Structure 1
Amino acid sequence: MKNLVPWMTIWIVISWYGSNIGVLLLNKYLLSNYGFKYPIFLTMCHMLACSLLSYAAIAWAKVVPMQSIGSKKQFFKITGLSLVFCFSVVLGNVSLRYLPVSFNQAIGATTPFFTAIFAYLMSQKREAWITYVTLIPVVAGVIIASGAEPSFNLFGFVMCVSATAARAFKSVLQAILLSSEQEKLNSMNLLMYMAPIALAILLPTTLLMEGNVLGVTVALARKDVKIVYYLLFNSSLAYLVNLTNFLVTKHTSALTLQVLGNAKGAVAVVVSILIFRNPVSFIGMLGYSLTVLGVVLYSESKQGNK
């Protein structure tokens, strides 16, 4: 019976949970509690790590076969995706400066709502009516949670909603742009090409909007060398999120992935509340639970209509 236990899959799922929740909590700690108020630079560090580590994983470790970009047209499509990708990550990091992780995750759970809207607007893709009905509790739950959130911040809320919409837009755009068999890239190869482009976009943006970040980081490092370790560990975790997400997709079914993903958000909320001790209300948690229930029903309806 011991040989029947899928230990590899279990460890991959644990790593996926740990890296996802870890990078989220460390982002919050750095940007809010630690006082490192440079979300664009932090995102740039993430993209640098993803560039280096994704190349190492594919070219040296042979995690997946290397796929090449076949044309200038495909390159420009990937560049467009990179722009949306880094836009969503930056906005998500900005929101963490102003919102608790628990509320951030509640808003992030509305991704299916935005995905359904963009899929309809951009490709006229229609879902079954029951699928659209399941989106009602998804949105209603966030409305309830917003009204009862003790740490509500309007700017942080707008940034988080924008980041969530951008993530959904990126997934729909990716399905449209890289739809042909010749242009399809697995997620690891796509990250390897997107991350350097995102890095090239973020570098001048950081210098323009956060011009003193290097001086501040060096000064902080002289006072407290831990900031260097925080940034290195945080950036490595950002890559590990993408790697473990790919491995979980590879080693489990689509339905299992959906269930695990729904549970991951709930675990992140509980862990963040225990660590940061941010105030929560019963009505707020009820709203988040309603959103999660809506996402579960949405996943079930999508699965049933395949």
Structure 2
Amino acid sequence: MKNSNSSSSKLFTFGLVAAWYSSNIGVLLLNKYLLSNYGFKYPIFLRMCHMTACSLLSYIAIAWMKMPHLLPSAVSGNVSLKYLPVSFNQAIGATTPFFTAIFGYLMTSKREAWLTYITLIPIVTGVIIASGGEPSFHLFGFIMCIGAMAARPLKSVVQDILLSSEG
């Protein structure tokens, strides 16, 4: 019996992860199509629709299915899709661990192991090289994308501070 519950739990977790990835990729591609190919001029409206859908589905998951859920959001990520290809947007997303380590150090004085900082160097270098070689590079889109990528770890570090403080 225990093995059956364990395998069905793993299958359920796999299904949730697959659904999460699929929905994120779908929203990303749909936003890219609407903003770049279709000429839709309202990225904030798209973010509002996405957040409304996430709120409703989160309510269902939390209230009815008893599943906790955490939703990050950043309008600048949608704005960047109007100017940058999805693949480049995702490549810039590789900088998230870099920003997490930097914000963690600046805001909490928490130091990671030196190996962690050293492993971030090729990641950031790769993004810099990709930026220089990207044929569809757009400075404003790049700034918006970096802002979105930095906002996620900033939010995580602030949440960590708020959740771990005694007050």
TM-score (norm 1): 0.48
Of 115, 119, 123, the match for 2:108? 123
Determine the C-alpha separation between the residues in 1 that align with 2:114 and 2:52. 43
Unmatched 5+ residue regions in structure 2? none
Q: Which residue of 1 aligns with 2:120?
A: 135
Determine the C-alpha separation between the residues in 2 that align with 1:128 and 1:11. 34
SS in 1 for 2:132: helix
Where do residues 209-228 of structure 1 align in structure 2 (5 Å cutoff)?
none
Q: How far apart are 1:17 and its partner, in Å?
A: 2.2
Q: How far apart are 1:61 and its partner, in Å?
A: 2.8
Q: How far apart are 1:63 and its partner, in Å?
A: 2.6
Determine the C-alpha separation between the residues in 1 that align with 2:24 and 2:99. 21
Determine the C-alpha separation between the residues in 2 that align with 1:145 and 1:28. 20
| Corresponding position: 1:16 with 2:20 | yes
Determine the C-alpha separation between the residues in 2 that align with 1:160 and 1:57. 29
Q: Which residue of 1 aligns with 2:32?
A: 28
Q: How far apart are 1:177 and its partner, in Å?
A: 1.3
Q: Which residue of 1 aligns with 2:67?
A: 63
Determine the C-alpha separation between the residues in 2 that align with 1:7 and 1:49. 25
Runs (4+) of structure 1 exceeding 6 A deviation are none
Distance 1:165 1:49, change over 3 A: same
Q: Which residue of 1 aligns with 2:84?
A: 99
Q: How far apart are 1:96 and its partner, in Å?
A: 0.2
Q: Which residue of 2 aligns with 1:37?
A: 41
SS in 2 for 1:110: helix
Deviations 1:83-132 (A, max 9, x none): xx55xx11000000000000000111110111111101100000111111
CA RMSD of aligned residues (A): 2.1
Where do residues 45-60 of structure 1 align in structure 2 (5 Å cutoff)?
45-60=49-64
Determine the C-alpha separation between the residues in 1 that align with 2:45 and 2:116. 39
| Corresponding position: 1:176 with 2:161 | yes
Determine the C-alpha separation between the residues in 2 that align with 1:153 and 1:42. 21
Q: Which letter does structure 2 place at the counterpart of 1:63?
A: M
Determine the C-alpha separation between the residues in 2 that align with 1:157 and 1:43. 18
Determine the C-alpha separation between the residues in 2 that align with 1:34 and 1:98. 13
Deviations 1:19-69 (A, max 9, x none): 1211111111111112112111111112222222222222233234xxxxx
| % identity of equivalent residues | 74
Q: Which letter does structure 2 place at the counterpart of 1:49?
A: A
Of 8, 11, 16, the match for 1:7? 11
Q: Which residue of 2 aligns with 1:162?
A: 147
SS in 2 for 1:109: helix
Distance 1:178 1:9, change over 3 A: closer
The structure that has the greater radius of gyration is 1
Unmatched 5+ residue regions in structure 1? 65-81, 184-306
Higher relative contact order (CA 8 A, sep 6+): 1
